[in-house]
Amino acid sequence: MAEDKLPTRAADFAEWYNQLVLKAELADYAPVRGCMVVRPYGWTLWENMTAALDRRFKETGHVNAAFPILIPMSFFEKEKEHVEGFAPELAVVTHGGGEKLEEPLAVRPTSETIIGYMYSKWIKSWRDLPVLINQWGSVLRWELRTKLFLRTAEFYWQEGHTAHATNEEAMEETYRILDQYADFAINEAAIPVIKGVKSETEKFAGAMMSTSIEGMMQDTRALQCGTSHFFGHNFAKAFEIQYLDKNNTLQYCSTTSWGLSTRMVGAIIMTHGDDQGLILPPRLAPIQVVIVPIYKNEAEKTKVMEAADKVCAELKAEGIRLKLDDREEVTPGFKYNDWEMRGVPLRIEIGPRDVEKGSVALARRDVAGRDGKSFVSQTNLAATVNGLLTEIQSSLLKRATEFRDGHIFDPKTYDELKKVVQNGWALSWWCGSKECEAKVKEDTKATTRCIPFDQPGGTGTCIVCGQKAEKKVYFARAY
Ligand SMILES: [Zn+2]
């Protein structure tokens, strides 16, 4: 499997991605069109991601719960924009137990409606607020063009839904979560995302304001890695989520929702991978270190395996996630390729001479060939390995940040914008009109990704129409 080569990224980025997902055994196509099977290696990666996010949510007072996968169709009619946004993507259950249902049930595409319904029952007084609930699960949006992890009908995610006494508190929550997403993306996934506000066209159906974190993939296309939405009173009015304030007056709650999905796995692949395969950030990698023993005969094998077992036990005791690849039916060279394909950050090679010298060879996945190799003592190996894993983590982030910054442009004219978005992002003044946004999309396929919080200040002229503009926006082709 590992020996047949991937297409290079330069030759065919899309096909490189597709084959990599399959060869690294992250996911596979399901017999149901549009669906994917996440394989154990991919799921372990996702579990590490969920743990890192879940910890952050809980640190800020959020709790997990589970809501049903089926939602009465009538719930979707209650919020006009929401129903318009999601109607084309709904899968609907019309029969159960051989009988036609009185009311069809939608398979959840997202859970604002059913959670809103429950909140209207649970929330009575200001004392009940805020409600800070998150749910881990999967949702279904009818998609026929499958791209594993990036666009599948069913995908896995978390969706947070919160209710607050005031708009101010709900806005604070929206930004707090966006900060957590950015912190997760940057410090766990080593993806240097940009935080900002979505345009009216790109915002979530039913939201007053949507925010997102946007990452640049190695083909320079943008990938929305997570979103956090402020609803104001929109859903509270639709679902009558109300509370009695301290003066005994009935008030509407202000609500938010926020989600990060298995798309993020796709972001990790496309941000860090190379022509040999996956490169995983050590903090999330299912296997951080693989040990490959090297020997030619039984006598060497006995000595080498003894040393390998010892190293293995020491590193495991330090909490390092590792695998000793003691397969006998394949060569060390095959094993190197195999683990490179799967993106294991660090490889330890132990041969007979290493045993004699009390050393091991270390090979970094992120630095190819001799430059990525070092020969170190077996003494204090855990500390050496931990240090190197930390270095790999930060070097991945640095590399991705340099790549991103090298592909963000400040075009001076509209013609120049049309050129730069073919191989990068444009950070340009924009008047905010839908017409200018639509023109860019029609001319270049680039959309507004986000209006970054980080603004140059002052005003400029819209790159499209030349009118006065208050904000700069990122234009990019996106996944
Ligand atoms: Zn304009």
Residues near 42 by Cβ (< 8 Å), separated by ≥ 6?
Answer: 21, 25, 26, 27, 149, 265
Whole-number pLDDT of residue 233: 97
pTM score, whole prediction = 0.96
Residue 448 Cα to ligand 1 midpoint, Å, equals 12
Strand 242-244 relative to strand 408-409: parallel, antiparallel, unpaired?
A: unpaired
**Cα distance between residue 406 and residue 126, in whole Å:** 50
Q: How far is the CA of 328 from the centre of ligand 1 (A)?
A: 65
Give the model's confidence band at 76: pLDDT under 50 very low, under 70 low, under 90 confident, else very high: confident
Report CA(219)–ligand 1 centroid distance (Å). Answer: 27
Report CA(426)–ligand 1 centroid distance (Å). Answer: 15
In sequence order, which ranges of 205-363 are alpha helices (DSSP H)?
234-239, 263-272, 298-317, 332-341, 352-357
Read off the pLDDT band of 82 (50, 70, 90). confident
In angstroms, what is the span from residue 431 Cα to ligand 1's centroid? 4
Quote the ligand 1 centre to 464 CA distance (angstroms): 5
Percentage of the chain exceeding pLDDT 90: 94
Please name every residue paired with 430 in a beta bridge, in sequence order, or none if there are none: 471
d(CA 308, CA 325): 10
Q: Which of 449, 452, 472, 474 is nearest to 460 (CA)?
A: 472
- C-alpha distances (whole Å) from 164 to each of 219, 279, 328 are 41, 41, 60
196 backbone dihedrals φ, ψ, rounded to 5°: -170, -175
Tens of pLDDT, residues 254-311: 999 999 999 999 999 999 999 999 999 999 999 999 999 999 999 999 999 999 999 9
Q: Do residues 335 and 325 touch, judged by C-beta distance below 8 A?
A: yes
| Tokens describing residue 366 | 């992120």
Ligand 1 centroid – CA 229 distance (Å): 25
pLDDT of residue 331: 96
Instruction: Give residues with Cβ within 8 angstroms of 222, minimum separation 6.
Output: 214, 215, 216, 425, 449, 474, 476, 477, 478, 479
**Separation of CA 465 and ligand 1 centre (Å):** 4
* CB contact at 8 A, 292 and 335: yes
pLDDT of residue 1: 44
Q: Provide the H-helix boundaries in 24-103.
A: 40-59, 73-76, 80-86
Q: How many CB atoms lie within 10 A of CB 403?
A: 15
